[in-house]
Structure 1
């Protein structure tokens, strides 16, 4: 990292969407950046950030396996400084019914959203705990995801994990914040094969607004933040609505072909 002397932030899944918006916010606050994604578009994102004056290093790394995580950790080590902010934003979605999904695809969702995320958080989190300072953001959810069963299941896991880890780290100087976004205007729906669904075609939240809500919550050390007024209402209702009912509601949004109904 060229002439890096300031505080350091790491953002995964930063090639577009919420991750890129988080990177812009971090850069605007003067942090040096290491950004990662599993696609070469991450270098285009870095170029945009550099044009805005950011000191940034980009790396293509598949965070669905330990090798990819180690590649990112090695890049972090080159910076020669501790990580102040970790935004564990990388995630992979997958639509359609579970029994019809290719095994390699749903396993990669689990490996990216859970295994890789936890490996990275553990490696960076240990260093944060040792020095008694640091902030971590994870991306989670709470609703049973009919026709997104594996994806939503991984996000429910991250939700539970984040709150448990936050409590384990209480009084250490390290905080964990869980961002719970609603449907957001990103490439997620295209990649997950959800463009023919109602949720894929409906109007969605602005990723810049979602990122700002998450970023503000991280800096404040909050435990969780639900972005978007519509999502806040839905999350409040979810706390008192039976899971079976929530699953039925999600079917209306994510069932293949629902965009035409």
Structure 2
């Protein structure tokens, strides 16, 4: 039985990953800041699917806590076969009006932690000759809309580079680039999304299934939803400045 480590597992896309992977029989290492939610999820998934769920409480903006996650991802004695770098958050304010501490936290959680944890996992996976790493980027990585777009662009390009380095090792890397998805993400960021057409919303559970299918195929970039595949295709040919905001 394989083991998957999911960061940001207590809510949103991370929660959808945890539930889908447990249903497929994977043991789990569940990482997030909220211990109560993680414990409840661990009991739920263990009871439903008979899998072992390890809880690892960590704020990835804290370097010591993040290192504990990296150490677990790279543990040779308790191997992680699939790493899902999902933890993240939205930034409500523009760069000039926002608190620089929030911007720095975004870099710590969605760049530095991804880099450090991915390296630890990848090194251990390469030694075993198999494994997969998923980094949650965003369709926002294809446009120029503030720090969030920049962070997610880094995540996508980082993953593309990692996939190239891992070629031939038996280990894969996939950047997941979702569009708007029905989760609590936007509520937490206090973003008003009521005017967005329903056709642009993705279902988190289907998104995860699509991503895992792309991982199995060895795809480096996964863009779930035909509407977003079309949007990303269009963004590839229009001048980047047209998409700034």
Question: How has the CA–CA distance of structure 1 residues 80 and 200 changed in structure 2, closer, same or farther, with 3 Å as cutoff?
Answer: farther
> What pairs with 1:27-42 in structure 2 (closer than 5 Å)?
27-40=22-35, 41-42=37-38
Q: Deviations over 1:11-40 (max 9, x none)?
A: 111112211111122112221110101223
- With normalisation by structure 2, the TM-score equals 0.90
In structure 2, how many angstroms separate the alpha carbons of the residues matched to 1:78 and 1:175? 18
Number of paired residues? 241
Contact 1:7–1:32 (CA under 8 A) maintained in structure 2: yes
Contact 1:43–1:59 (CA under 8 A) maintained in structure 2: no
**2:164 corresponds to which residue?**
167
SS at match of 2:142: coil
Question: How has the CA–CA distance of structure 1 residues 153 and 200 changed in structure 2, closer, same or farther, with 3 Å as cutoff?
Answer: farther
In structure 1, how many angstroms separate the alpha carbons of the residues matched to 2:159 and 2:73? 22
| Aligned residue among 209, 216, 239 for 1:242 | 239
Q: Relative to structure 2, which stretch is displaced further, 178-187 or 190-199? A: 190-199
Matched, 1:185 2:182: yes
**1:205 corresponds to which residue?**
202
Question: How has the CA–CA distance of structure 1 residues 79 and 59 changed in structure 2, closer, same or farther, with 3 Å as cutoff?
Answer: farther
Contact 1:35–1:59 (CA under 8 A) maintained in structure 2: yes
Contact 2:74–2:120 (CA under 8 A) maintained in structure 1: no
Contact 2:81–2:131 (CA under 8 A) maintained in structure 1: yes
| Aligned residue among 2, 10, 24 for 1:7 | 2
TM-superposed CA distance for 1:202, in Å, is: 8.6
> What pairs with 1:10-25 in structure 2 (closer than 5 Å)?
10-25=5-20
Contact 1:144–1:152 (CA under 8 A) maintained in structure 2: yes
Unaligned ranges ≥5, structure 2: none
- With normalisation by structure 1, the TM-score equals 0.85
Unaligned ranges ≥5, structure 1: 1-5, 252-261
TM-superposed CA distance for 1:198, in Å, is: 4.5
TM-superposed CA distance for 1:169, in Å, is: 0.9
Over the residues paired in the alignment, what is the CA RMSD in angstroms?
2.2
| Aligned residue among 48, 60, 71 for 1:52 | 48
